[in-house]
A and B are shown apart, each in its own frame.
Chain A
Amino acid sequence: MKFLKQFLIILGISLIGEILKSVLSFPIPASIYGMVLMFVLLLTGIIKLDQVRDAGKFLIEIMPVMFIPAGVGLMASWNVLQPVLLPVSVITVITIFTVMGATGLVSQFIIKKRKGETK
């Protein structure tokens, strides 16, 4: 029962996210509206951590499984992908390196600087 109640709260917030998406015209998905809403509700104490925590952690834990269908979907979009496969692959791989490097190093630089100041 506890699990069902928790899941119901999570679904309710997802539903509100879906409604927000249909009302507002930004290219932002329902899940992101829902995530921001859940965060605000937790922060303001309207929803207590205990009311969503167990079901939430379970969903997060099995999250990689939810990407399997999209990954298998590559099979269906293979025809469109094939002609541009080489440039697309090169860009895909290089971008992961540059983006992770930039994000990681810039944030690490700021964190280290701050740590140095407080010492």
Chain B
Amino acid sequence: MSEFMQTSAYAGVTISLVAYGLGAALKKKFGFGLLNPLLISIVVTILFLVGGHVDYETYNDGAKYLSWFLTPATVCLAIPLYEEWELLKNNAKAVILGVTSGVITSLITVFVLSKMMGLDHENYVTLLPKSITTAIGMGVSEELGGYVTITVAVIVITGVLGNIMGEFICKIFRIHEPISKGLALGTAAHAIGTAKAMEIGDVEGAMSSLSIAVAGILTVLFATFFAGLM
């Protein structure tokens, strides 16, 4: 049985989706932030793979088809954006200044904390693109000479944490405006944060999708300057 599991292309993905569905049902029943379907699915799948001595490569042979949908799905984020176009136009200043402050804050925070904790240049530039979408972040990290695998891991962790804690953080800072909530989630936690913004509402989702692109491009522009600081 376990030998079969170690070669099956469907077992791992099935477990992932069952765990996700279970997480979604639990969340609906208890409405508790930590019961995040994505987090539950990741944890359950890792436990299953480690417990069953299944390689990540074997799992990913089946699971890569889930990732394959990411590009078309990201393309579709333009749809809610288009539907909220009027709102976006009317708030252009808030969008641009909000996302720009977020991007600069992200780079400054990483710089100050890396300096305080004595990280070397390679680890520092690895973390610089941590708030933006994986595909752009990987490019930035590579360009600056960082460890791309760590960048990817940190981006994913940032996204999942942003997805889980996003609503709570909005409460702490008293961010009530739907537009601001969306911008904050998208700028801090890219597409995984946007998945949460989509759950909260259409305006939040549209603003969050927009932030992914804007924050990603602004980070490309500013990261080289910040990389030279340390």
Contact = CB atoms under 8 A, between A and B. Distances in A.
A66 B185 contact: no
Interface residues of B, number: 112
Given A39-B81, A59-B72, A108 B119 contact: no
A77 B158 CA distance: 15
B121 to A, nearest CB: 13
Contact of A31 (B37, B74, B131, B163): B74
Contacts, number: 327
B213 A73 contact: no
B85 A43 contact: yes
A75 B46 contact: yes
Interface string B140-174: 10110001011011101111111101100110110
Nearest to B113: A91
Contacts of B152: 70, 73, 77
A49 B84 CA distance: 12
A5 to B, nearest CB: 14
A7 B212 CA distance: 22
A100 B188 contact: yes
A88 B114 CA distance: 9
User: Which of A30, A68, A94, A97 has most chain B Cβ within 10 Å?
Assistant: A68
User: Which of A14, A30, A93 has most chain B Cβ within 10 Å?
Assistant: A14
User: Which of B76, B91, B177, B188 has most chain A Cβ within 10 Å?
Assistant: B76
Contact of A110 (B93, B104, B165, B216): B93
B217 interface: yes
Interface residues of A, number: 75
B130 A92 contact: yes
Contacts of B10: none
A81 interface: yes
Interface in A46-65: 49, 52-53, 55-57, 59-65
Interface of A: 7, 10-11, 13-14, 17-18, 26-32, 34-39, 42-43, 49, 52-53, 55-57, 59-77, 80-81, 84, 87-88, 90-108, 110-112, 114
Interface of B: 16-17, 20, 37-39, 41-42, 45-46, 49-50, 56, 59-60, 63-64, 66-67, 69-83, 85, 91, 93-95, 97-99, 101-106, 109-110, 113-114, 117, 119, 123, 127, 130-131, 133-136, 138-140, 142-143, 147, 149-150, 152-154, 156-163, 165-166, 169-170, 172-173, 175-177, 179-181, 183-185, 187-189, 191-192, 194-195, 198, 205, 209, 211-213, 216-217, 220
